[in-house]
Structure 1
């Protein structure tokens, strides 16, 4: 990193493939009338045909990391399949969820290293990405990035493209009793032509709340090889009284429509982490956030 650019970006991802586990569950769902003895065979066929028209390539571990929009001097992204034997499945935004957090957290760290404002640093690297730059500017403007936040509050921002849509989110939070409390999230989304703005807004809001749960509580712990959590009574979710004020601003566009069901999630945790860094001076690179 120099004063205004990232000269080289090297990202090595080690993670399991979702499809390796998913096909065993998918086969009974797709072929419920098939005899049970056929399911293992169908699962093996699913794995053998991965990457063909029959079974799409499994990009779940590295999607959102292998096509960053930033004009880095050079970048290399590598993936090593590393399966720990713990079953994994799809969740909202799939690989974009963890990779959005990782990449934007490190872009934020690069901005700090360069001594630059986080928004201006990104905009310089998005010079060839007008739609991404536009949502970043809009979220910063609507969230009061250039203004001083209220006493005891801190702001962070992040941007990510997933499922063809561009989303930037600004988070305003405080730290109370050693834990982050999110007061407001400002979201800007460019998902092409919009037929029903209310649906877009609701999907962004729900993605933000889903991401907030992951950032604050989303952890599965193990004891003697077994997961301790089994359902919502012992896996905490964000509750109504914890939900922040959420603003959603939709960019008017003539581009083809793109996804809205999942793109609201990936920027949330990284924006939270940036605000937490301002509040505490510690940059957290693990989820959920544990400040004490």
Structure 2
């Protein structure tokens, strides 16, 4: 049985327009886990590691997780806290976001080192992102890194997506320092090229892969939206074309779903190139629905096509 822990913040998601808004649950690391839950065997454990409030919306979120086979390990419940919230507005298929998250419960996910360590015990894979890192400060961020290092030393593979979001950081220098530190504890990196270009000034996907190799990452997939992804392993690099979608509906969660598809495929024994091909198909399924989460059957069908 495989056991996966994904660390971060799952928010309340509002999609729609005017008076027709729909409430859902989403967040970059949760979207990755959602795809993995759809693609792995039912007996495989998938836990979302965060911190949760005790209000009605937190209860609804936890019920949603449970209904879809997603646990929360030893994640704490914070009295008086609540989830963060964001709204998606669309211009065609492209999206923009408005956030309300400054006091979200997830910012306390690393306040208890023992509970965080317990949540990461005996995992096949531990996943986190630049957003996970960004919502933590000082001591809590170091607690996160320490817990991930300990899980890795105990045999877990660690995957990381830098997922740079400028508004979450006080400066580019702060973001670069924290993300570079996170890369040193990762076995697999899943960056998005426009993010890396914006933060590090990389001139090409190859330059991003080269920089991450120098950071010590052994397996790298550089995503580039609807353009080909660059896969780098010890055997070299290869470009893997994306799956074309003639009429995308909503690109929210596409990169996250790619990550989930890729990591699920690797856990199931597929090589990195085959994993990237399957991941592109999963991402293509997601951009054909509203919101970040596609139904499990659609993800499974795309993965196995």
TM-score higher than 0.5: no
Largest Rg, 1 or 2: 1
Give the TM bin, normalised by the shorter chain.
under 0.3
Greater RCO between the two (CA within 8 Å, min separation 6)?
A: 1
Q: When the two structures are superposed, what TM-score results if normalisation uses the length of structure 2? A: 0.25
